[in-house]
Structure 1
Amino acid sequence: MTEQRNESRRGSTGTRSRGGPRRQYRRRPRLCKFCADKTTHINYKQHELVKRYIKESGKIRSRRETGNCATHQRMVAGAIKRARHMALLPFTVERLR
């Protein structure tokens, strides 16, 4: 009885094609916004710029989400931490009770 079940699973490929040519998807190269502008320094006082890289929960957005290169992501994270320490940005968001 188990053999019949296994055979029925193997035979039911449905509309899937096997061995056919696959489309080649090419990702667009992600460009860091700061590299495109040739920015060498990210200032913690630019709170509007720095706020873009913080989630609603108060966490710093990842490189994947922002599209920054490693160098500029470290600069952004440092600027956010510095702004938090100077009380320009909150560490967490206020939650309604």
Structure 2
Amino acid sequence: MAKKKDNKKRRILKEAPVARNCPFDKNKTEPDYKDIGILTKYISDRAKLLGKDRTGLCAKHQRRVALSIKRARHLALLPYTPRI
């Protein structure tokens, strides 16, 4: 007799979400494309933008950080690709 296939879906383990404590709201500041030290916290080791579930930013500041990173890349302040 043929064996029955297991049709159950496997659970994919995700990283634990970061608490929603937006540092820009706490300090009452705005992300700036010239402040490379702060912007590098929101870029992965592969030079990709991190999502707001990984950064803990609110939606408004996540959009502004993304725009600031894109501006900094355009002005060659940040790399488009990871450094080898």
Question: TM tier, shorter chain?
Answer: 0.7 to 0.9
Superposition deviation, residue 94 in structure 1: 2.9
- Structure 2: 5+ residue runs without aligned partners? 1-18
**Cα distance in 2 between the residues matched to 1:67 and 1:56:** 18
**C-alpha deviations, 1:5-25, integer Å up to 9, x for none?**
xxxxxxxxxxxxxxxxxxxxx
Name the structure, 1 or 2, with higher relative contact order (CA <8 Å, separation 6+).
Answer: 2
1:30 to 16, 20, 24: 20
Gaps of 5+ in 1: 1-28
> RMSD over aligned Cα, in angstroms?
1.2
Residue 44 of structure 1 is matched in structure 2 by 33
Aligned length: 66
* Distance in 2 (alpha carbons) for counterparts of 1:75 and 1:94: 24
Cα deviation, 1:15-70, whole Å, max 9, x if unaligned, reads xxxxxxxxxxxxxx62211111112x211110010011000001001000000000
**Sequence identity, in percent?**
45
Larger radius of gyration: 1
**Corresponding residue for 1:78?**
67
Opposite residue 53 of structure 2, the aligned amino acid is R
TM-score by length of 2: 0.73
